Amino acid sequence: MSGSRLGRILVSEAELNARVGELGRAIARDYAGESPILVGVLQGAFLFMADLIRAIPIDLTTDFIGVSSYASGGKPSGQVRLVSDLSMPIEGRQVLIVEDIVDTGLTLSYLKRNLEARHPKRIQTCVLVDKIERRQVEIELDYVGFTIPNVFVVGYGFDYGGLYRNLPYIAELEAA
């Protein structure tokens, strides 16, 4: 996407703020009386997770896990690998995976299998963006922020070559 430029805004800053608040309230309601661990998937989900945890008024802990499923050029490789692991055990815990995007479903499917092997009490998922038309594997999503078309997006944690993560909205990145 050399020579790319920002295209249309798919999700505005106001829409992000409103929806993250709604997700936080739903999670707080569903986990009332629990103390879940929210597991953010690096690097894309860190902005979403920061805003999300501020919108969840219950006791919770956080951790991060890093995976890679992309080859050079930003294309999915079809292979998922763990690049950084959790810093605490999750056995017997309520786990909520916080992911920025689900497209093929391969990464989230891998993560769920990996974490289930650690014997948590329950694993659920919260994803900011769902690109359902790209799905290759069946995956259950418990909390979904937005469903978007099959376009390359940047902003609010999504990047291209390390750029654009800091945009306060989600926009399409167009090839020049």
Residue ranges of domains in the chain? 5-174
121 vs 3: which has the higher pLDDT:
121
Residue-level pLDDT at 51:
98
Q: What type of residue sits at position 39?
A: V
- Evaluate if pTM is beyond 0.75: yes
Mean pLDDT over 96-111 rounds to 94
Residue-level pLDDT at 10:
97
- Cα separation of 80 and 108, whole Å? 9
SS3 category, 131: coil
- Label residue 21 by pLDDT band (50, 70, 90): very high
Residue 2 has pLDDT above 80, yes or no: no
Spatial strand order in the sheet of 153-154: 5-11, 170-174, 153-154
CB-based contact 144:27 (threshold 8 Å):
no
Residue 75 has pLDDT above 80, yes or no: no
Mean pLDDT over 100-116 rounds to 94
- Label residue 82 by pLDDT band (50, 70, 90): confident
Question: CB 51: neighbour CB atoms within 10 A?
Answer: 18
CB-based contact 111:65 (threshold 8 Å):
yes
42-53 pLDDT, tens digit per residue, is 988 999 999 999
What are the C-alpha distances in Å from 48 to residues 54, 127, 175? 10, 9, 26
126-168 pLDDT, tens digit per residue, is 999 999 998 999 999 999 999 999 999 999 999 998 899 999 9
Residue-level pLDDT at 76:
55
- Annotation says 103 is catalytic: yes
The pair phi, psi for residue 111, each rounded to 5°, is -60, -45
Residue 1 has pLDDT above 80, yes or no: no
CB-based contact 127:100 (threshold 8 Å):
yes
CB-based contact 140:122 (threshold 8 Å):
no
**List 51, 100, 103, 159, catalytic entry:** 103
Residue 70 has pLDDT above 70, yes or no: no
- Cα separation of 72 and 28, whole Å? 39
What is the second-level CATH architecture of the domain 5-174?
Answer: 3-Layer(aba) Sandwich (3.40)
Question: Of all helices (H) and strands (E), which one includes residue 23?
Answer: helix 13-30
Residue 175 has pLDDT above 90, yes or no: no
